Amino acid sequence: MVTEAVIWAIFLLPLGSFAFAALVVRPFFNRFSLISGLVTIAALGTALGFSIWTLRSVILGHELVFEPIEWLEVGGATIDFGLLIDPLTAVMLIVVTGVSLLVQIYSLGYMKGDPSFSRYYAYMSLFTAAMLGLVLASNIIQLYMFWELVGVSSYLLIGFWHERPTAAAAAKKAFIITRIGDVGFLIAILYLFTQADNFAAVGLNAFHIPDIWEAAQPEAAAGAILGGAVLTWLALGIFAGAAGKSGQFPLHTWLPDAMEGPTPVSALIHAATMVAAGVFLVARFFPVFEHSPDAMTVVALVGAFTAVFAASMGLVMNDIKRVMAYSTVSQLGYMMAALGLGLYAPAIFHLVTHAAFKALLFLGAGSVNHATGTFDMRYMGGLRKVMPITYILVVVAGLSLVGIIPLAGFWSKDEILLGAWTGTGLVDTWVSRVTFSALLAGVIVTAFYTIRMIILTFHGEFRGGIVRELEEKAQTVPARESHHGGVHLAESPWVMVLPMVALGVTAVLLGYLANPQWTEEIGIPRHWIIGFLGDGLSAALGASGHAETLDFSRWMATISTVAALSGIGLAVLIYLRRRDQRADPLSKVKPVHTLLSEKYYMDTLYEDVMVRKGFFKYFAGILDWTDANLVDGIVDRIGWFFQNIGSAIGKLQSGHVQGYATGIAFGVLAIILALLLA
């Protein structure tokens, strides 16, 4: 059985390597910056080991409830600092430490020679530590603290090359937009704070997460505390925070811009840490959500809309990382939609498989960039011959993303689609039907952009890489990743390839955790992960019946495969056989292409209309006017008054004795009059 100290170590090890890299290596041994990388990898490797130990303990059903440490006591509400270990936490621990470890190893090669190597590893450790703290938190305040810490570290990493204005702007954008969502989360927490006394009356702690679950149960003794409209608003507040972090419409615009960070950072953000935090948050508060059909409907529809909306923008992007970014937004939409429909375990399972294949795709993009120096797919092509391993791995990850049997993505997506079709009874039937249609349409679009990306990058003739791009754009400084420079077409070093291989194997095998039929013979029970996660949820609530698992349905698998294959076929038809390799065939449908390339004018709407016109011009204009006229006006008038009254009174002091005497005489007269009249 795993001990409390070991679980704390999972979080403290990356934190320690952050402290070591930032406080010891960077100031004193920056010449040997490789140390910080190795220390980080060692710390994460140990943390992964401990995470596996924890997962094993959870699977064996050990009692893993630890007494929290009392942190603060504010007005009758106690804020604890503790560990919450359930199947969700255990699975997330593996995902975070596993993906992070592989990304760190990959970074040894990718970031080689960067002058800020130590800073990079310090931030990466902090990022991982923050995410682990978030996953382990048993208290909503504790969770919020790490939630914001994840935000800060992503800000630092997106803006890692802060000397580039675009990177600095992207970091700011990510930070501000996620903060908009966090306001909702904060309001939800503050509401819980106001209810602290009601919680205490029935022996619960308003910030302790299992107690919040308890309070949301309508049949529980404390059910009256959170219920009805309050519950819906509370859930929507939490969802607002999750939507910001997970890039759900309409707060998705920061995610594609976050590509300005180093590519391994993107892999980490998109797979395991930042964006997974939003889905994790909704999953963590799933017992609250499931009692509010309205909130569930919102989550499902926002997720479904995002899934299609983001995928459609992925169709036309020229930047390989942007295609993947929109793909992430879209896949997060799948997870949110699944959670909204009540498909708790499939959503988490999709999060896990997505972490594997999306991390692999990003690492593949980094590997391609390592060879060509650019991210623009218009200047790639033909890399299949020079980078065969990267090619195979990207194809595996891509097909997994599309959902081709028997890769991991197929199983998780299939569970979601099947669940959406069957419905769970938590939301109205039309919601699950709409969601199902959107998700199915998303499969076709996903297949199309994935194959388009693979063909543009790896097939056809090589189109010149960064050298050509610079010539055409007549720029003196490369737009991004300038330190790589130059085209050297070759497979990436083994330190980059090995983590990719590991992820590739995972992306193939992970699906067998949910494998429907034939794994029982090798000792894995059917729907193992679905049952595991679902049972964890039921156990936490002391109820049962959540862990319903749907049987694999051949015709549903057929439908999704047909959808995926039609998308693939279309992409192959259009892109593989095109004559002019320089032009994008999609741009022939001009209006649609423009609309999609301009991201539905969402960025324009936010930046030009809302920020520049709305905020800068009108809102700030009114404030400026108020400041200049009202605030400054009052101050100026007060100053004017005293200045003038001073000189006015000063004139009275003339030095004329008779003047003073007159004043005295009339003063005495006034006093006498006053006394007489009084």
Partner 1 sequence: MSFEAFMIVAAILFCIGLYGSLARRNVLAVLMSIELMFNAVNVTLVAMAKYLAPAALQDDISSVLTGQVFAVFIITVAAAEIALGLGIVFAMYRTHDSVDLSEATGLRH
Query: What does the binding site for partner 1 look like in residue numbers (CB under 8 A)?
Result: 653-658, 660-662, 665
Give whichever of 647 and 653 is closer to partner 1, judged by the CB atom. Answer: 653
Give me the residue label for tokens 């991201």.
599
Residues 6+ apart with CB under 8 A from 620: none
In degrees to the nearest 10, what's the CA dihedral of 489, 495, 498, 502? -130
Rounded distance between C-alpha atoms, residue 110 and residue 107, angstroms: 5
Minimal distance in Å, beta carbon 623 to partner 1?
48
Kind plus residue range of the DSSP H or E element containing 44: helix 34-59
Minimal distance in Å, beta carbon 666 to partner 1?
10
Calculate Rg over the CA atoms of the chain: 30
Give whichever of 604 and 654 is closer to partner 1, judged by the CB atom. Answer: 654
Distances (CA, A) of 112 to 106, 118, 496: 10, 11, 11
Rounded distance between C-alpha atoms, residue 332 and residue 281, angstroms: 13
Give whichever of 489 and 665 is closer to partner 1, judged by the CB atom. Answer: 665
Minimal distance in Å, beta carbon 650 to partner 1?
10
Minimal distance in Å, beta carbon 654 to partner 1?
6
Give whichever of 616 and 660 is closer to partner 1, judged by the CB atom. Answer: 660
Distances (CA, A) of 162 to 106, 118, 127, 527: 22, 15, 17, 46
Give whichever of 638 and 664 is closer to partner 1, judged by the CB atom. Answer: 664
Minimal distance in Å, beta carbon 663 to partner 1?
10
Give whichever of 628 and 673 is closer to partner 1, judged by the CB atom. Answer: 673
Rounded distance between C-alpha atoms, residue 68 and residue 375, angstroms: 47
Give me the DSSP letters along 275-289. HHHHHHHHHHTHHHH
Give me the DSSP letters along 82-149. -BB-SHHHHHHHHHHHHHHHHHHHHHHHHTTT-TTHHHHHHHHHHHHHHHHHHHHB-BHHHHHHHHHH
Give me the residue label for tokens 């193992």.
528
Give whichever of 588 and 656 is closer to partner 1, judged by the CB atom. Answer: 656
Minimal distance in Å, beta carbon 646 to partner 1?
16
Minimal distance in Å, beta carbon 669 to partner 1?
10
3-class SS string, 415-442:
HHHHHHHHCCCCCCHHHHHHHHHHHHHH
Give whichever of 113 and 650 is closer to partner 1, judged by the CB atom. Answer: 650
Minimal distance in Å, beta carbon 664 to partner 1?
10
Minimal distance in Å, beta carbon 618 to partner 1?
56
Query: How far does the chain reach from its first CA to its final CA, in angstroms?
Result: 93
Count of residues making up the chain? 678
Give whichever of 522 and 648 is closer to partner 1, judged by the CB atom. Answer: 648
Give whichever of 477 and 657 is closer to partner 1, judged by the CB atom. Answer: 657
Minimal distance in Å, beta carbon 627 to partner 1?
42
* Interior angle at CA 303, CA 566 and CA 89, nearest 5: 110
Six-digit token pair at 570? 């279309």
Instruction: Classify residue 582 as left (phi > 0), alpha (psi -120 to 50) or beta.
Output: alpha
Minimal distance in Å, beta carbon 661 to partner 1?
6
Give whichever of 474 and 676 is closer to partner 1, judged by the CB atom. Answer: 676
